[in-house]
Structure 1
């Protein structure tokens, strides 16, 4: 009897093993308990499981590139993310089955789902490539949820082979909401017109899509003759003094457009043994807009509307052998701007009452630095050394590079004639900011230059 019982147990064991091999998990699949929601780059599979024998759910399909994909999710969840698509898809086949805790699998049911275009694919639905200074600009919009990268190329000269080739400029992650990116080519790659390529790729480095733009015009930016420029001073802040019996006095707006960008005239007079006039522009007191309720400003009239790309405000170079005059509180650079905002319009009308609004102004550029920033970082300092210019002679002056604040102007393709210059702060003295200060709000710069589109 005992031998018979053992034999029956062995037979039952073989039968159970055979049943597992043949049938797996005997749980009926229910397509009504599963639904799909298309999303960018894939779909969300939503499910409900009521049978307590089911431990996991399994979805098996092929992605856009033919790779087999298996996704698993727990019975405790209610959704599973199906990914692997860039271009929008319809009726993607998927096999869905159940697994128990021992990974015994039920029969699979065949279903289909749709997808939406991924961010790296739909990127091109909202991208523009337009003209820019010596290059081009890329603008794009993107949804809130994004992934992947964009690669920007242009058709140029390969520096290794000296042959025409696609040159990679930049790879950047696609940003939610979109952005604008600017590209100016160096001298060796400049061209009047450019061919631009953009490719997008997902995190698996699969290229999603490619698009090209031909004959994108590159605008050349040139210095505009400033001899016909004028600086309008609505608040009468400019100090205009040219006293014949005191040759040391030469202040006024006219010196902003005389071509002397370094301070040569002042140094030449000093070398000749004369008391050196300044030949420069200074305005005040209270010429900064943050010192009064009134918004103090100057208006630069460039005489003829143009597509402006840059405005430069120059500083006199430091003349080591000459003292700074009292209007500068004996510290020239305490009157030097460190925060400036530029506005533009075409309909400004000069008025005797500056409080009367005139002009449809649009903010187009700015320069913003800490008034207490380190000496080496200030724009009027020799960038290579981090120190003041040491000008001892005419030869030193001729050899020195000019010092200027560069204010890029927003590129929107529009032409403007009038530019409002609002100085909001000046630098403090590096060593004695409490003593050599600018509480009276004087503002000084030495020359104004404008760079605009070459006609």
Structure 2
């Protein structure tokens, strides 16, 4: 008898619990919910009814791997991003419910949504892997709101094993819009094999493609023996007297560091010997201005497909012992803004085409002139052996591989460093100097 009563009480208790279960009674009209496909997912937009008990909106669906995804947005918002997809999909099921402050859910409503290719997949919809100087370039265009990572590899010799391997060059975040990445390789080959692999920010590989037979435009320094630096405005200081040795011809003498000057000073047995800069310097006010154009023309004597032009500064020798034309701090006369145009007819003003530009802020933390003369006392060089052990300092103006061969290059110095921190002198007259110019080409 007692057992019978206990069973009856248990049954009544179960029914009582079922009767007391509470459900959140709220819903959204179907027409108040819409979906917009975006890269890697969709945006769910909604308009909530006038119900103060609604605290949040919840969407449940499965991502491209079949993993359950739950997205919740506060009642204060009107949209929710449903992500987790790579390749575009149609009619993805989603269950949408409303939550109150007690986290009680309303009856779920069922919808479907479409997605677009995610950034890591869309990356391959408009990509080109093309030849470049000593390597290759990757051009790509992806839609707005694209995200993800791209890994660029090439097939080369592993420095550890000395065998062919897939070597990582760079991992970068995919940016919406049109972009180009340039890769010049230390390992030079006539043809390269390039591997491009993309992944989402969760570390999932989205897609991988291999590009074979990408030609490399291998470059070398062009012989400067016949180069000429034309001076239409007569700005170059030409003085081959002892204590000077300045003029445009020293731009092509092969001395990229200041070796000739240091050797001359050492031959005198001290560093206070005559200056003999073996360098190029201009008269005052050689900087190009919109209302007063100034430029030089580099003539390489025959049309060549040029990849870049390097412009060197003399390194920081123990004492510069400058002649009067270098009376200001040497580094203040080096350019921070250079524009180069090209032509095959220097006398036709309409034939000049802009091919390259270099710009560095005057407030750059580490300017390209950091180790140039008189800039930083910690970089002083006292002996020839010290000079031989260090790298030169230079700026580089790079050119596109799409340029045709050109013979003439118009060089505009738009700005110089002029004033350097912790230095007394200032290049108020805007003289310009360079120590060496090198041209690289196909």
TM tier relative to shorter chain? 0.7 to 0.9
Aligned partner of 2:412 in structure 1 is: 422
Contact kept in structure 2, 1:343 and 1:363, CA below 8 Å? yes
SS in 2 for 1:125: coil
- Cα 1:228–1:163 change in 2 (3 A) is same
Out of 329, 333, 343, the position equivalent to 2:340 is 343
Output aligned runs, 1:37-186, within 5 Å. Answer: 37-50=36-49, 52=51, 57-73=57-73, 77-98=77-98, 105=105, 107-186=107-186
- Find the residue that maps to 2:177 and give its secondary structure: coil
- 1:64 is displaced (CA, Å) by 0.8
- Secondary structure of the equivalent of 2:202? coil
2:440 corresponds to: 451
Partner residue in 1 for 2:207: 209
166-175 vs 32-41, which moves further: 32-41
Paired position in structure 1 for 2:382: 390
Whole-Å separation in 1 of the counterparts to 2:411 and 2:236: 13
Query: Counterpart of 2:5?
Result: none
How far 1:298 sits from its partner (Å)?
0.8
Structure 1 equivalent of residue 249 of structure 2: 254
| Deviations 1:345-365 (CA, angstroms, capped at 9, x unpaired) | 2244248xxxxx554231502
The structure with more radius of gyration: 1
Check 1:75–1:283 CA distance in 2 against 1; reply closer, same or farther (3 A cut): closer
Provide Cα deviations, 1:325-370, integer angstroms capped at 9, x if missing partner.
22222x572674132413122244248xxxxx55423150215363
Alignment of 1:329-408 (within 5 A): 329=327, 333=330, 336-350=333-347, 357=349, 359-362=351-354, 364-368=356-360, 370=362, 378-380=370-372, 386-391=378-383, 396=385, 399=388, 401=390, 403-408=392-397
Residues 375 and 139 of structure 1, relative CA distance in 2, 3 Å threshold: closer
Match of 1:287 in 2: 286
Aligned twin of 1:442: 431
1:5 maps to none
Q: CA deviation at 1:267?
A: 5.9
Partner of 1:7: none
Task: Tell me, yes or no, if the aligned pair for 2:144 and 2:177 is still in contact at 8 Å.
Answer: yes
Contact 2:362 2:417 in 1 (8 A): no
Mapped to 1, the partners of 2:102 and 2:320 lie a distance apart of 91
Say if 2:418 and 2:430, in contact at 8 Å, map to a contact too. Answer: no
Q: How far, CA to CA, are the matches of 1:386 and 1:70 in structure 2?
A: 59
> Which residue of 1 is the match for residue 7 of structure 2?
none
Unaligned stretches of 5+ residues in structure 2: 1-9
Structure 1 unpaired stretches of 5+: 1-9, 352-356
Residues 61-95 of structure 1, C-alpha deviations (whole Å, 9 max, x = no match): 21111112233445565433322112111111223
Question: Structure 1: how far apart are the matches of 2:105 and 2:361?
Answer: 66
Alignment deviations for residues 296-344 of structure 1 (CA, whole Å, 9 cap, x no partner):
1111112223332332233455665783222222x57267413241312
- Specify whether residues 318 and 76 from structure 1 end up closer, same or farther in structure 2 by C-alpha distance, changes over 3 A only: closer
TM-score if structure 2 supplies the norm length? Answer: 0.80
Structure 2 CA distance for aligned equivalents of residues 263 and 220 of structure 1: 29
| Post-superposition CA distance 1:100-143 (Å, at most 9, x none) | 66555555444322112222221222332222233222232333
Structure 1 residues 16-62: Cα deviation after superposition (integer angstroms, max 9, x where no partner): 533466x9567688544533222222223334454857665543221
Q: Is the 8 A contact 2:152 2:194 kept in 1?
A: yes
Contact 2:282 2:433 (8 Å CA) reproduced: yes
**Between 160-169 and 375-384, the greater mean CA deviation after superposition:** 375-384
Range with bigger deviation, 96-105 or 77-86: 96-105
Q: Answer yes or no: is the 8 Å Cα contact 1:318–1:390 preserved in 2.
A: no
DSSP 3-state at the match of 1:406? strand
**SS of alignment partner, residue 124 of structure 1:** coil
Tell me, in whole angstroms, the C-alpha distance in 2 between the residues paired with 1:313 and 1:241: 21
- 2:304 equivalent in structure 1: 306
Report the secondary structure of 1:175's partner residue. Answer: coil
Q: Tell me, in whole angstroms, the C-alpha distance in 2 between the residues paired with 1:70 and 1:400.
A: 61
Distance 1:407 1:24 in 2: 70
CA contact (8 A) 2:141 2:178 kept: yes
- The answer as to whether partners of 2:139 and 2:179 remain within 8 angstroms in 1 is yes
Alpha-carbon RMSD: 4.0
Tell me the alpha carbon deviations over residues 370-402 of structure 1, each in whole angstroms, 9 at most, x when there is no partner.
3998899624259999423324xxx65984657
TM-score if structure 1 supplies the norm length? 0.78
The partner residue of 2:326 within 311, 325, 328 is 328
